[in-house]
Structure 1
Amino acid sequence: MSVTRDRRDSRWDAHREQRRAELVATTVEAIRTHGAGVGMEEVAAAAGTSKTAVYRHFRDRTGLYVAVCDAVAQVLVNQIRRATDRTLADGAGPHAAVAAGIAAYLGTIEADREVYRFVVHRPLLVGDAGDPADPIADLVTVIGDHVATVISTYLPAAAAPRIWGHAVVGMVRGAADDWLARPDGTTRAELAAHLTDLAWTGLAGLATGGTR
Structure 2
Amino acid sequence: MSRVTERHAADGRSSRWDEHNARRRLDVLDAAIEAIERHGVGVTVKQIADRLGLPRPVVYRHFNGRTDLDEQIRARILEMLLAELEPALHPGGTVAEAVRHAVGTYLSWVERHPRLHHFLGTGRHHERATGSSVVSGARDAIAAQLAALFTEALAHFGKDTSFARPMAFGVIGLVDGVVNAWRSDPASVVAPAEVSSRLADSILALIESNARALGIPIHADAPVQELLRGMA
Residue number among 179, 186, 189 corresponding to 1:185 in the alignment: 189
Alignment match, 2:142: 143
Distance 2:191 2:206 in 1: 23
Q: Deviations over 1:81-120 (max 9, x none)?
A: 21232x41xxx12332222111111111121111111221
Q: Which has the higher contact order (CA 8 A, sep 6+)?
A: 2
Distance 2:162 2:97 in 1: 21
Alignment match, 1:105: 106
If the length of structure 1 is used for normalisation, what is the TM-score?
0.84
Runs of at least 5 residues in structure 2 that lack an aligned partner in the other structure? 1-7, 126-130, 221-232
CA contact (8 A) 1:148 1:161 kept: yes
Q: 1:202 to 1:159 in 2, by over 3 A?
A: farther
User: 1:53 Cα shift?
Assistant: 0.1
Q: How does 1:71-90 map to 2 (within 5 A)?
A: 71-85=76-90, 87-88=91-92
Distance 1:133 1:68 in 2: 11
Q: Deviations over 1:138-175 (max 9, x none)?
A: 12111111222232334544542211111111110111
Residue number among 169, 174, 179 corresponding to 1:176 in the alignment: 179
Distance 1:119 1:106 in 2: 15
Alignment match, 1:128: none
CA contact (8 A) 1:77 1:142 kept: no
Alignment match, 1:66: 71
SS in structure 2 of the partner of residue 20 of structure 1: helix
Does 1:26 find its partner at 2:26? Answer: no
CA contact (8 A) 2:31 2:51 kept: yes
- Taking only the aligned residue pairs, the percentage that are identical comes to 24
Does 1:209 find its partner at 2:226? Answer: no
Distance 2:200 2:25 in 1: 38
When Rg is computed on C-alpha atoms for both structures, the one with the higher figure is: 2
Distance 2:148 2:193 in 1: 25
Distance 1:166 1:22 in 2: 34
Distance 1:69 1:211 in 2: 37
The size of the alignment, in residue pairs, is 199
Runs of at least 5 residues in structure 1 that lack an aligned partner in the other structure? 125-131
Alignment match, 1:36: 41
CA contact (8 A) 1:80 1:101 kept: yes
One-letter code of the match for 1:8?
Answer: R
Q: Deviations over 1:8-60 (max 9, x none)?
A: 21222222111111111100001111111111111111121111100111131
If the length of structure 2 is used for normalisation, what is the TM-score?
0.77
SS in structure 1 of the partner of residue 182 of structure 2: helix
SS in structure 1 of the partner of residue 54 of structure 2: coil
SS in structure 1 of the partner of residue 217 of structure 2: helix
SS in structure 2 of the partner of residue 184 of structure 1: coil
SS in structure 1 of the partner of residue 33 of structure 2: helix
Q: 1:79 to 1:152 in 2, by over 3 A?
A: farther
User: 1:193 Cα shift?
Assistant: 1.2
